[in-house]
Chains A and B, each alone.
Chain A
Amino acid sequence: MSDTIPWNGTALAEEVERRSGTPVSACFQCHKCSTGCPIGADMDLLPSQILRLVHLGAEAEVLQSQAIWLCASCEACTTRCPMEIDLAAVMDALRMLAIERKVAVPDGHGKQFNHSFLSSVRHHGRVFEVGMLAAYKLRTGDLFSDVDKVPQMLAKGKLSLLPHRSSSVKQVRELFRRAQEEEGKS
């Protein structure tokens, strides 16, 4: 980050403002978001740096960052921002933009988790954890993490081997179909 980053116009900032519905350009770099971020220590870019880079139109730097996938959506930043910028919504907007623009995501775990989770909801109306985790592990190739937890979780009845299907499964599929259409419009 020592290189000078040129200003690339307002297109990125405008796009993020439109999607997140929050005044990204109002940020004056007080760093309150970064100071209180519980994940900050693990991020390659802090939340305030992300906002600055959005102002500069530094699309590649922002969309290829790990930070947007590390955000836990805990909303501490959103709650504390003196300019009332909803930073958690900005992170959501950036994640969606990264996928739409087919950016090479540095670590696909977040993206694959979201995908596996929502597929499970589409199929059963609810999350079927065992099925969802199996799909996630196959997609990421990360087969062995947390396998040590399985016997304990089974013993404690914390993993159910069969899905709990919602009686609204048909309607849920319709919801997914129409939501996808709406996303295509914007």
Chain B
Amino acid sequence: MKYAFFPGCSLESTAWDFNRSTRAVFAALGIELEDIPGWVCCGSTPAHASNASLSIALPVFNLQRAQELRSPVLAACASCYARLRTANYQVRNDPKQRQLAERITAEPYDGNVIVYHVLDALVNHLGLDAIRAAVRRPLTGLRVACYYGCLLTRPPEVVAFDDAEHPMAMDHLLAALGAEPVDWPYKTECCGASLSMTKSRVVSRLSHRLVDMARQAGAQCIAVACPLCQVNLDLRQADARKAHGELPETPALYITQLLGLALGLRSKELGLDALSVSAEALFASLSTSTAAVTGGNR
């Protein structure tokens, strides 16, 4: 099994821990990731909000590069994932958009390179049975709020691997690792995403709401699958507390970090030291079988 990996810009900076943990768990599971040669930014929100032609050309350029690897594309960032899938959707369904993309990239493209998100690949391709079989240190006793955020499941005709309003893929993954996913209502509520830079006070309000609700539902930590969600819940958690009132320290970990811990990887291999809200105390407090997990950090 092999994927053409699209890391995306965040994974080279703020989300280096997502990068490291994704590569570590896929290697541990025996799946090869080959980076798309010469990949470029997907354009993200700034492109689709200001230049429609660019917003289709940048993802299509990447998908054309991926074609050379003859493997499906794997994206880690939810925004990159949504942009790549949206470009495919536009190229396949609108001949004018296809012609536009081909004119700008000066290369043909039929919209048929398959794009998966890390969560989709783990749960629906590798499968939960294979993951269960690979678990060395189950996350027994860990109560997790699975946070999908906005773009992993929306819009459904474009992404389509789980239900848009009540997704379950991440819950199933965490349950397979031995953790207890809590039932909570804000699975797909937006964290404010890129407003983090331009309207941080809006993001503080949304982050506070999310962490508060996760706690009310009984979670000890939040699982995320997007670099923007992670920054807004982790790095901005202190701001949220300052602006909107006390909250217990609630780590926000990437699904690949939680999976890696369950696979028995060391915290260094998973970039756990990159968290602003440390998860060390939480894992130390778990049952003795999982307390050993943080050993790599000491």
Check if A179 sits within 8 Å of B198, measured CB to CB.
no
Nearest-CB distance from A150 to chain B (Å)? 11
Partner of B206, one of A38, A113, A152, A171: A38
A175 and B57 in contact (CB under 8 A), knowing A79-B155, A109-B198, A136-B197?
yes
User: For the complex, what is the distance from the CA of A156 to the CA of B276, rounded to whole Å?
Assistant: 8
- A window 96-130: CB within 8 A of B: 96, 99, 109-111, 113-115, 117-118, 121, 125-127, 129
User: For the complex, what is the distance from the CA of A109 to the CA of B50, rounded to whole Å?
Assistant: 13
Nearest-CB distance from B147 to chain A (Å)? 13
Give the chain A neighbours of B297 by CB distance below 8 A: none
A118 and B50 in contact (CB under 8 A), knowing A70-B195, A79-B155, A178-B57?
yes
A175 and B46 in contact (CB under 8 A), knowing A92-B52, A109-B198?
no
Check if A168 sits within 8 Å of B192, measured CB to CB.
no
Give the chain A neighbours of B104 by CB distance below 8 A: 175, 178-179, 182
Residue among A41, A115, A121, A146 with most chain B CB within 10 A = A121
User: For the complex, what is the distance from the CA of A42 to the CA of B198, rounded to whole Å?
Assistant: 13
- Interface of chain A: mostly helix, strand, loop or mixed: helix
Write the B20-52 contact mask toward A (1 if CB under 8 angstroms, else 0): 000000000000000001111101111111111
Check if A95 sits within 8 Å of B154, measured CB to CB.
no
- Chain B residue with Cβ nearest A146: B200
Give the chain B neighbours of A121 by CB distance below 8 A: 40-41, 43, 47, 58
A interface residues, tally (CB under 8 Å): 60
Check if A118 sits within 8 Å of B51, measured CB to CB.
yes
Give the chain A neighbours of B65 by CB distance below 8 A: 168
Check if A118 sits within 8 Å of B46, measured CB to CB.
yes
Check if B13 sits within 8 Å of A159, measured CB to CB.
yes
A126 and B40 in contact (CB under 8 A), knowing A157-B274, A183-B51?
yes
Write the A63-95 contact mask toward B (1 if CB under 8 angstroms, else 0): 000000110111110110000001000011001
- B window 145-202: CB within 8 A of A: 150-151, 154-156, 164-165, 188-190, 192-195, 197-200, 202
- A153 interface contact, C-beta 8 A: yes
Interface residues of B (CB under 8 A from A): 9, 12-14, 16, 37-41, 43-54, 57-58, 61, 65, 94, 100, 103-106, 150-151, 154-156, 164-165, 188-190, 192-195, 197-200, 202, 205-206, 235, 273-276
Interface residues of A (CB under 8 A from B): 19, 21, 38-39, 41-42, 69-70, 72-76, 78-79, 86, 91-92, 95-96, 99, 109-111, 113-115, 117-118, 121, 125-127, 129, 133, 136, 145-146, 149, 152-153, 156-160, 164, 166-168, 171-172, 174-176, 178-180, 182-183
